[in-house]
Structure 1
């Protein structure tokens, strides 16, 4: 591994390696699952165990519509054929899906809601870290809403308009309230929590065949 690169320090030994991820919903077109924190969405360069590899063992070919960071838990939808893949991916690209995340961030945020508009680019010498760049970064917009204050930290709902890598983690760090348990952006405060307190809580999209609006809700375990 090259000097300067960062990796998660999170212990993933607690993630069950039995190949079983019970679907929240399944039909001939899509599979919706609750990805546990610590499990990759797709196979990595050095680690093959992932949502995709486990699902393929049981259901055959799985096509990737979107992803969650390894340390993030929550709702993921996969396609089972190319038509479903293209149809749902177009919804993500056109931003007609609805995505809501829940997080606990360090400290008490002032105000009840806000908007973070900061462009993001990969920090190449320190990847997978991302950084803010007003000259070369890609447009990234996150809205947030305060839900409660708990033990000096703040529980928030996050509404990403865009889907940049590490967007929610970096944006919250940039306003001085990194997500609790974030080994990449929260510094030593991350060590106080065994997992990243970020969860994909809600996802709405149109079914690729029927056109029915699919609405999924899943509360976090933190």
Structure 2
């Protein structure tokens, strides 16, 4: 078997002798575990003569072309309030809807992003596991990353500040933000009732830096592009409240007065990170939620 062609998303191999598909793939990807190779088939990444094949014992003949579509999310996986954007042997990146928890609470133990991904990977092998690297609030939608091993989780969490090259959000906030762009810096602290608030006294809490630009503003609402230089708990909620423009649909304790769109107005739109194994820069982007862009608003 020879590899004939490779581009950013496809690898092509020519079959030289009769073989079944799984043994062919195991030999082709001899540097990967059997489990990892089987998952390529399960996710529908394998094409024989341009036809998708998931059957392990599919008969290959000399001259056949086997094509691997890299990093394709499973077609067969049925997720609720989320979808897979990217998957390889080390990480899974998802797009989470508003209303879905990252991990379980006392009230919600089944429908979480973590539980759905754990069920998904364990269908391939019961020993597979998923590890939480970072979180999004239940009400916040957008891009999230999970690790497939404890080692990868540790690598990502210890190197998060250096490895993450971009982490940006879009926020729909109350009122017309007149300053087109700005940087907000404060030190965040938390009360006994878990309200996070800002201190302007240097080193009086955890330093938080938020950059924003106005995308558009009308009808007493503003849509902002928000870039986090630091990632603190409730950072965007607090900083938007600090400038007098709380996030739509947010907590009253942060100054929110109403909910013009029926959900929380925060979406994690971009995560760009160096891959924990290869070092390759990966950039994942989600669309702005349609609720943020309704014509009645802008």
TM-score by length of 1: 0.84
Contact 2:248 2:258 in 1 (8 A): yes
**Are 1:146 and 2:214 an aligned pair?**
yes
RMSD: 1.8
Match of 1:212 among 269, 280, 295: 280
The total of aligned residue pairs comes to: 202
For each residue in 1:53-93, what CA deviation from the matched residue of structure 2 results, as whole angstroms up to 9, or x when unmatched?
11111114111111111110000000001232122223323
CA distance in 2, matches of 1:150, 1:42: 36
Q: Which has the larger radius of gyration?
A: 2
| 3-state DSSP of counterpart to 2:258 | helix
Aligned to 1:97: 165
Matches within 5 A, 1:1-222: 19-20=79-80, 21-48=82-109, 49-60=111-122, 61-94=129-162, 96-124=164-192, 126-127=193-194, 129-134=195-200, 136-184=204-252, 185-190=254-259, 192-221=260-289, 222=292
Going from structure 1 to structure 2, the CA distance change for 1:186 and 1:195 (only over 3 Å counts) comes to farther
Going from structure 1 to structure 2, the CA distance change for 1:145 and 1:95 (only over 3 Å counts) comes to farther
CA distance in 1, matches of 2:184, 2:178: 14
| 3-state DSSP of counterpart to 1:199 | strand
For each residue in 1:12-66, what CA deviation from the matched residue of structure 2 results, as whole angstroms up to 9, or x when unmatched?
xxxxxx7543311111110000111111111123322311111111114111111
Contact 1:180 1:186 in 2 (8 A): no
TM-score by length of 2: 0.64
Shift of 1:220: 2.1
Shift of 1:112: 1.3
Shift of 1:183: 2.9
Going from structure 1 to structure 2, the CA distance change for 1:91 and 1:43 (only over 3 Å counts) comes to same
| 3-state DSSP of counterpart to 1:119 | strand
Contact 2:132 2:147 in 1 (8 A): yes
Contact 1:102 1:198 in 2 (8 A): yes
In structure 1, runs of 5+ residues without a counterpart are: 1-17
Contact 1:121 1:131 in 2 (8 A): yes
In structure 2, runs of 5+ residues without a counterpart are: 1-77, 123-128, 293-298
Higher RCO (Cα < 8 Å, 6 or more apart) = 1
CA distance in 2, matches of 1:89, 1:194: 33
Contact 2:174 2:256 in 1 (8 A): no
CA distance in 1, matches of 2:163, 2:276: 15
Going from structure 1 to structure 2, the CA distance change for 1:94 and 1:211 (only over 3 Å counts) comes to closer
Shift of 1:95: 6.2
